[in-house]
């Protein structure tokens, strides 16, 4: 429970902005939040866990990272044009992969326990990693649940301009990653915010 | 996902957010005022307290790395990590904008107070995440504001922050204790384990390793 709570607390940390900015885009562009939010959480958790345990050793820079940014930009444009579940899911999965790949966490007590043990006992640290990431994604969970629990409210979020706004955020993230400036955007937002 | 399940998830999530929001102030207050006593205190009892088990010898993780391409040093005349050789040295990779790094500062202050007159020093390696954390006047202002008197090495391009941490994933904060021979004897990511750190420092001060040929 403490790990889940620490995930929720981490929402307000500047270090989490690289995860939260693309997440905001996903949750806004997705009419299909009940599919996209679990996709986001599962992908982000998997990539973060692979990094924690040392099985994902790709540097969050260089050719592959730039290429991922370009593909994300292309997928965001395709998602706007096609408006189908498959493209939305692919865009979400890639955005979550890039976000978790780029993320350098600020580590509290519970995430620290995960990280200090991750390389020695990778599988045992998967459940607490899931708990932390679900906590960190709790606003997305609320919006996805709201879609199902109160469809009328969910529909209000599905306005065309909201979808355009969400896709624009994802496209900007892809564009900035492709020119290696995504960190700078997050930094500027952190400086201007009241963290 | 059925509507009932969605409602349960929604209510649970909102309660969890509210609970964390209202309890986080307490957590921060607690972090600002560390207690010098062990983290897990025994329950009060009429019986005499059992003698605590001796603290085990800290594991030796091998020689420390060097600090290279440092952009400057603050609050010290040192120009190299070698200048701290022969001391028990707590090395903290941090940045002043990081919440969890700031939460460690009161504990480091307590170690500084407790062991400062002995063969002990703290060295902050300031590795900024964002560009505004890389400006020296901003760092100096933060050191003043946060009450950090110990030496700082400025690792602006994070070369050492990355080199000291294995793999491609790095974390703020990361804490090491280097013994008098230059070997890493404590390595911890994030907050927590404050008493273990205190005992490690105490152990190394009281039980210095035998000098090697190099030292």
In a structure prediction context, what are the per-residue pLDDT tens digits for chain B, which is 215 residues long? 688 888 888 788 888 887 777 776 544 444 444 554 444 444 445 566 677 778 889 999 999 999 999 999 999 999 999 999 999 999 999 999 888 999 999 999 999 999 988 999 999 999 998 888 999 999 999 999 999 999 999 999 999 999 998 777 788 899 999 999 999 999 999 999 999 999 999 999 999 998 876 65
Distance from CA of A28 to the nearest CA of B (A): 18
Mean pLDDT of the A51-78 span: 88
Q: Is the ipTM of this complex over 0.85?
A: no
A89, A97 contact by CB (below 8 A): no
What count of CB pairs under 8 Å joins A to B? 127
The conformational region for residue B108 under phi > 0 = left, psi -120 to 50 = alpha, else beta, is alpha
List residues of A whose CB lies inside 8 A of any B CB.
4-5, 8-9, 13-15, 34, 51-52, 54, 56-60, 104-109, 111-113, 115-116, 135, 138, 141-142, 145-149, 183-184, 186-188, 190-191, 195
Q: Which residue of B has its CA nearest to A140?
A: B13
The yes-or-no verdict on residue A34 having pLDDT over 90 is no
With an 8 Å Cβ cutoff, are B14 and A111 in contact?
no
Enumerate residues 6+ apart whose C-beta is below 8 A from B3: A148, A149
H-run or E-run covering B159: helix B159-164
Task: Select the residue of B6, B103, B129 nearest A15 (Cβ to Cβ).
Answer: B129
What is the reported pLDDT for B64? 94
Residue A13, number of CB atoms within 10 A of its CB: 19
Rounded-to-10 torsion of CA A181, A41, A17, A119: -80
With an 8 Å Cβ cutoff, are B167 and A54 in contact?
yes
With an 8 Å Cβ cutoff, are A51 and B9 in contact?
no
What is the reported pLDDT for B202? 96
Q: Which of A38-47, A160-169, B97-106 has the lowest mean pLDDT?
A: A160-169
- With contacts defined as CB-CB under 8 Å, which chain B residues touch A113? 190, 192
With an 8 Å Cβ cutoff, are B98 and A106 in contact?
yes
What is the reported pLDDT for B31? 42
CA angle B130, B136, B141 (to 5 degrees): 95
Strand partners, B154: B126
A12, A195 contact by CB (below 8 A): yes
Q: Which residue of A has its CA nearest to B104?
A: A108
Instruction: Give the confidence band of A84 by pLDDT, cuts at 50, 70, 90.
Output: confident
Enumerate residues 6+ apart whose C-beta is below 8 A from B177: B58, B88, B89, B90, B91, B184, B185, B186, B197, B200, B201, B204
Q: Which of A45-59, A72-86, A142-156, B101-115 has the lowest mean pLDDT?
A: A142-156
Which of A10, A140, A148, A181 is the mutation pick for testing B, counting most B CBs within 10 A?
Answer: A148
Q: Which residue of A has its CA nearest to B98?
A: A106
CA–CA separation, B118 and B112 (whole Å): 10
For residues B146 and A105, which has the higher predicted lDDT (pLDDT)? B146
Which of B131, B171, B193, B197 is the mutation pick for testing A, counting most A CBs within 10 A?
Answer: B171
Residue A3, number of CB atoms within 10 A of its CB: 21
For residues A189 and A28, which has the higher predicted lDDT (pLDDT)? A28
With an 8 Å Cβ cutoff, are B190 and A15 in contact?
no
3-state SS string for chain A: CHHHHHHHHHHHCHHHHHHHHHHHHHHHHCCCHHHHHHHHHHHHHHHHHHHHHCCCCCCCCCHHHHHHHHHHHHHHHHHHHHCCHHHHHHHHHHHHHHHHHHCCCECCHHHHHHHHHHCCCCHHHHHHHHHHHHHHCHHHHHHHHHHHHCHHHHHHCCCHHHHHHHHHHHHHHHHHHHCCCHHHHHHHHHHHCCC
Task: Select the residue of B13, B166, B193 nearest A145 (Cβ to Cβ).
Answer: B13
What is the reported pLDDT for B43? 47
With an 8 Å Cβ cutoff, are B14 and A54 in contact?
no
With an 8 Å Cβ cutoff, are B100 and A107 in contact?
yes
What is the reported pLDDT for B33? 46
What is the reported pLDDT for A193? 61
- With contacts defined as CB-CB under 8 Å, which chain B residues touch A107? 100, 171-173, 189-191
Length of chain B measured in residues:
215
Mean pLDDT of the A137-157 span: 84
Percent of chain A predicted with pLDDT > 70: 97
B36, B160 contact by CB (below 8 A): no
């Amino acid at each position: 429970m403490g790990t889940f709570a620490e995930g929720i607390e981490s929402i307000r940390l500047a270090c989490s902005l690289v995860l939260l900015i693309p997440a905001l885009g996903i949750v806004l562009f997705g009419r299909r939040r009940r599919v996209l939010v679990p996709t986001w959480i599962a992908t982000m958790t998997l990539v973060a866990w692979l990094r924690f345990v040392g099985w994902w050793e790709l540097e969050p820079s260089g050719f592959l990272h730039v290429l991922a940014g370009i593909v994300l930009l292309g997928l965001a444009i395709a998602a706007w044009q096609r408006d189908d579940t498959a493209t939305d899911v692919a865009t979400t999965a890639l955005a979550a992969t890039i976000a978790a790949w780029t993320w350098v966490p600020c580590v509290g007590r519970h995430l620290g326990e995960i990280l200090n043990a991750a390389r020695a006992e990778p599988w045992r640290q998967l459940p607490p990693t899931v708990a932390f990431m679900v906590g960190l994604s709790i606003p997305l969970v609320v919006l996805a649940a709201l879609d199902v629990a109160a469809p009328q409210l969910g529909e209000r979020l599905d306005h065309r301009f909201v979808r355009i706004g969400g896709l624009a955020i994802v496209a900007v993230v892809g564009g900035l990653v492709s020119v290696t400036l995504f960190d700078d955007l997050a930094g500027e937002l952190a400086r201007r915010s009241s963290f | 996902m059925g509507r009932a399940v969605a409602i349960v998830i929604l209510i649970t999530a909102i309660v969890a957010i509210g609970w964390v929001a209202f309890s986080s102030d307490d957590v921060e207050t607690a972090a600002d005022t560390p207690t010098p006593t062990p983290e897990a205190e025994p329950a009060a009892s009429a019986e005499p307290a059992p003698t605590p088990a001796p603290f085990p010898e800290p594991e030796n993780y091998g020689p420390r790395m060097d600090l290279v391409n440092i952009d400057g040093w603050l609050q010290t005349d040192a120009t190299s990590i070698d200048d701290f050789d022969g001391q028990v040295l707590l090395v903290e990779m941090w940045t002043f904008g990081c919440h969890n790094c700031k939460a460690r500062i009161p504990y480091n202050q307590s170690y500084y107070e407790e062991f400062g007159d002995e063969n002990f020093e703290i060295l902050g390696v300031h590795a900024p995440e964002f560009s505004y954390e890389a400006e020296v006047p901003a760092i100096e202002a933060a050191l003043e504001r946060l009450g950090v008197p110990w030496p700082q090495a400025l690792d602006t391009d994070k070369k050492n922050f990355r080199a000291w941490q294995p793999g491609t994933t790095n974390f703020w904060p990361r804490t090491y204790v280097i013994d008098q021979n230059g070997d890493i004897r404590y390595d911890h990511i994030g907050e927590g384990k404050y008493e273990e750190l205190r005992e490690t420092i105490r152990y190394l001060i009281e039980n210095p390793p035998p000098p090697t040929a190099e030292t």
